[in-house]
Amino acid sequence: MKPKISDVAKVAGVSPTTVSRVLNNRGYIGEKTRKKVEEAMKQLNYFPNDVARSLFIKKTFLIGVIFPTTTNPFYGQLIFHIENIAASLGYKILLCNSQGQEDKERSYLRMLQRNQVDGIIAGAHNRGVKEYDIPTLPVVGVDRYLSGNIPVVSSDNYDGGRQATQLLINKGCENIIHINGPILLETPANLRRKAYEDVMRDNQLTPITYETEGNNQAVIKQLFDENPQVDSIFASDDLIASAVMREAKIRKRNIPSDFKVIGYDGTETTRLLLPELSTIQQPIREIAEKTIEILIKEINEEGDSQMETILPVRLIEGETT
Amino acid sequence: MKPKISDVAKVAGVSPTTVSRVLNNRGYIGEKTRKKVEEAMKQLNYFPNDVARSLFIKKTFLIGVIFPTTTNPFYGQLIFHIENIAASLGYKILLCNSQGQEDKERSYLRMLQRNQVDGIIAGAHNRGVKEYDIPTLPVVGVDRYLSGNIPVVSSDNYDGGRQATQLLINKGCENIIHINGPILLETPANLRRKAYEDVMRDNQLTPITYETEGNNQAVIKQLFDENPQVDSIFASDDLIASAVMREAKIRKRNIPSDFKVIGYDGTETTRLLLPELSTIQQPIREIAEKTIEILIKEINEEGDSQMETILPVRLIEGETT
DNA sequence: TTGTAGGCGTTATCAC
DNA sequence: GTGATAACGCCTACAA
């Protein structure tokens, strides 16, 4: 069986208390005793039991992280940074892939509470999960409004939408169509669309928005069929932009001379696989940093964190505009 | 404060034991009592404390998962499936991004032991981490040999390498170069290279292999400079293949007529962003399933799981060959 | 059918 | 400096 503190104590010829003291560097310990204890620990290959410790100190150093799926490069990269930064601060990540399903999200939420996580970072796409209002548990949202009193961190979606649309207009486009995922009023990402519509109207152009669940090639085909005059597309993420490019090629539209595309996210993976794509790059690392900073402040009850944090985006001009 | 079993008991007017019985559906409980208890739980918004429970039953239903980074689409997708399947079996995932650094991997290993995980799934790229030999802790490796008595799950890397090389030969290529990440003898992925070399020799062709750390455009440039006669490349992953394609375009090599490329992995993301790329697709979902199946067998001490599991790969012919 | 007592491994408190 | 004791929240004998 796994050795426990009392086993170490026995071997070292001291009391459990003393072993605990050595472990946590607390109180006064004689140098010889410390040596003895440390040797006993090594000899038994002792590891402290954090479950027992957590039970006592009522803190787990666990953070629950709920996103749709690590398969998506944006979330994959975001979660990487979250885990990485959390680890450097002594926190560990309990990973939850909600797949955008409300019921899963709810059951993850229960699971996380049962596991006594110190806090939760949530960036799933569901609306209406009221369970986030957990009085005793700090929660921070990423790119998503969860509830009135939960802080949200996001990048500047409005400015991103504005820059993307403006770029296409500057390049002479007039029939710009926006295509995005399901429109959720609760998400700041919806601001991309609002910015697009505002900029279009400001330029006496008619905004047209298509919605697609995930990567729906059919919607894109339909878009082209219904709008033969379309000369450019602002896609709400790079995956959709890629699908648009594919369809454009099928229709023998020459990019960028004849047809332009700009995406959104600018993840590492997209930059590697599709470097020619123009895109609005989100500051993923900074989002992760800020999110954790706020969460840990809440955990430590250093309150007063701002309710909404907006980080700047960056336009990357590739060869598709 | 969070309510505990005794709080529920007080409200329901019963003893803590009875509440525990209702919670776990164990032993005989009167219907009225059960109702009372359930109502008390609802009223107090009670959640069982899994930390305390884990301490008692000596089981956490936690699985530690160590991979280089969720940013990489292959690992992102693999981890998604692992988490997903684990969740359906009542297990939770503690996520660790080792970034291919031995020291991080070692410290994650310590962390996981302290947290009393029931098992570990590891697929990082390090060699020489002897700490995996933990007598009391089940470990399963993915695409990687960890130690003599740790089961490994991987796809058929030899066959994948064979198919890729053979395809290029069938298409008339003669100057095929293989390019991959750092060559680690311990990893089954190295078999891709061996297969490439075997097939080349079987066809009286000279194998040439280049190594690159991550996505090193410089190595690829060098490869082209040193081998102007190269007519095709078998890349050990799709990211590298993409970089090769980029360089080929810069050098005005026409794909596929003048120059061919085949990659490896065939993740969802790659298929979306670079659908034209020919590749060897790994059965990621199946790898996850098999890995968890074996791990849970080990956890339940139903021993006798096979030490090496090899899953079939699938050739996807795109437009780059 | 329900209740009491003890322990899971750790740490804080208070003696010595 | 070091040790005994109680408690964290839960679960399983055993008793009633």
- Are the beta carbons of A110 and A128 closer than 8 angstroms? no
Biggest CA-to-CA distance, chain A:
85
* pTM of the full structure: 0.96
Q: How far apart are CA B256 and CA B320, in angstroms?
A: 5
Going from the C-alpha of A140 to that of each of A40, B58, B240, the distances in angstroms are 43, 32, 36
Read off the amino acid at residue B79: I
Q: Is the pLDDT of residue B182 over 80?
A: no
Q: What is the pLDDT of residue B183?
A: 65
Supply angle C-alpha B273, B274, B276, rounded to 5. 145
Q: How far apart are CA B8 and CA B16, in angstroms?
A: 8
- Residue A10 CA to D4 C1' — how many Å? 15
Q: What is the pLDDT of residues B285-305, one digit of tens each?
A: 999 999 999 999 999 988 777
- Are the beta carbons of A306 and A151 closer than 8 angstroms? yes
- Which structure tokens are listed for B245? 């394609």
Q: What is the pLDDT of residue B128?
A: 67
Taken as a whole, chain B contains a residue count of: 321
Q: What is the pLDDT of residues A270-308, one digit of tens each?
A: 999 999 999 999 999 999 999 999 999 999 988 777 899
DSSP for B21-70 reads: HHHHT-S---HHHHHHHHHHHHHHT----HHHHHHHHT---EEEEEES-T
* SS3 assignment, position A260: strand
What confidence category does residue B214 fall into, taking pLDDT thresholds of 50, 70 and 90? low
* Residue A276: half-sphere exposure toward Cβ, Cα within 13 Å: 18
- DSSP E strands in chain B: the ranges are 62-67, 92-97, 119-122, 139-142, 152-155, 176-180, 208-211, 232-235, 260-265, 278-281, 308-311, 314-316
Q: Is B225 exposed, middle or buried (0-12, 13-18, 19+ CB in 10 A)?
A: exposed
- DSSP E strands in chain A: the ranges are 62-67, 92-97, 119-122, 139-142, 152-155, 176-180, 208-211, 232-235, 260-265, 278-281, 308-311, 314-316
- Are the beta carbons of A242 and B272 closer than 8 angstroms? yes
User: Among candidates B226, B311, B264, B200, which has minimal Cα distance to B72?
Assistant: B264
**Average pLDDT for chain A:** 92
Q: Is A235 exposed, middle or buried (0-12, 13-18, 19+ CB in 10 A)?
A: buried
Handedness of CA B281, B282, B288, B293 (dihedral sign): positive
Q: What is the pLDDT of residues B21-30, one digit of tens each?
A: 999 988 788 8
* Residue A106: half-sphere exposure toward Cβ, Cα within 13 Å: 8
Q: Is the pLDDT of residue B143 over 90?
A: no
* Residue A27 Cβ < 7 Å to strand D: yes
Determine, for residues B73 and A77 on separate chains, whether the beta-carbon distance falls below 8 Å. no
Q: How far apart are CA A88 and CA B42, in angstroms?
A: 38
Helices (H), A61-156: 73-88, 102-114
Residues of B whose CB is below 8 A from A273:
238-239, 242, 269-270, 273-274
Q: How far apart are CA B5 and CA A303, in angstroms?
A: 30
Read off the amino acid at residue A275: P
Determine, for residues B70 and A72 on separate chains, whether the beta-carbon distance falls below 8 Å. no
Ordered domains of chain B (ranges, CATH): 5-48 (1.10.260.40), 57-153+284-310 (3.40.50.2300), 157-283 (3.40.50.2300)
Distance in angstroms between the alpha carbons of the first and the last residue of chain A? 64
Q: What is the pLDDT of residue B144?
A: 80
In SS3 terms, A169-187 reads as HHCCCCCEEEEECCCCCCC
| B20 CA to centre of own chain | 38
Q: How far apart are CA A241 and CA A229, in angstroms?
A: 18
Dihedral of CA atoms B303, B109, B91, A138 in degrees, nearest 10, equals 170
Going from the C-alpha of B241 to that of each of A84, A291, B181, B245, the distances in angstroms are 28, 34, 12, 6
What confidence category does residue B215 fall into, taking pLDDT thresholds of 50, 70 and 90? low
Task: Strand C: list protein residues with Cβ under 7 Å.
Answer: A 1-2, 4-6, 16-17, 20, 23-24, 26-27, 48-49, 52-53, 55-57; B 14-18, 21, 27-30, 32-34, 52, 55-56, 58
Close Cβ partners of B250 (under 8 Å, ≥ 6 residues apart): none
Task: For strand C, give the nucleotides within 7 A of a protein CB.
Answer: 1-5, 7-13
pLDDT string in tens for chain A (321-residue length): 899 999 999 999 999 999 999 999 887 888 889 999 999 999 999 999 999 999 999 999 999 999 999 999 999 999 999 999 999 999 999 999 999 888 999 999 999 999 999 999 998 766 667 777 777 799 999 988 777 788 999 999 999 999 999 999 999 999 999 998 776 656 777 899 999 999 999 999 999 999 887 667 889 999 999 999 999 999 999 999 999 999 999 999 999 999 999 999 999 999 999 999 999 999 999 999 999 999 999 999 887 778 999 999 999 999 999
- Residue B17 CA to C6 C1' — how many Å? 13
- Are the beta carbons of B95 and B70 closer than 8 angstroms? yes
* Residue A179: half-sphere exposure toward Cβ, Cα within 13 Å: 32
- Are the beta carbons of A275 and A320 closer than 8 angstroms? no
User: Among candidates B98, B92, B99, which has minimal Cα distance to B115?
Assistant: B92
* Residue B56 Cβ < 7 Å to strand D: yes
Residues of B whose CB is below 8 A from A65:
95
Q: Is the pLDDT of residue B131 over 90?
A: no
- Are the beta carbons of B193 and B178 closer than 8 angstroms? yes
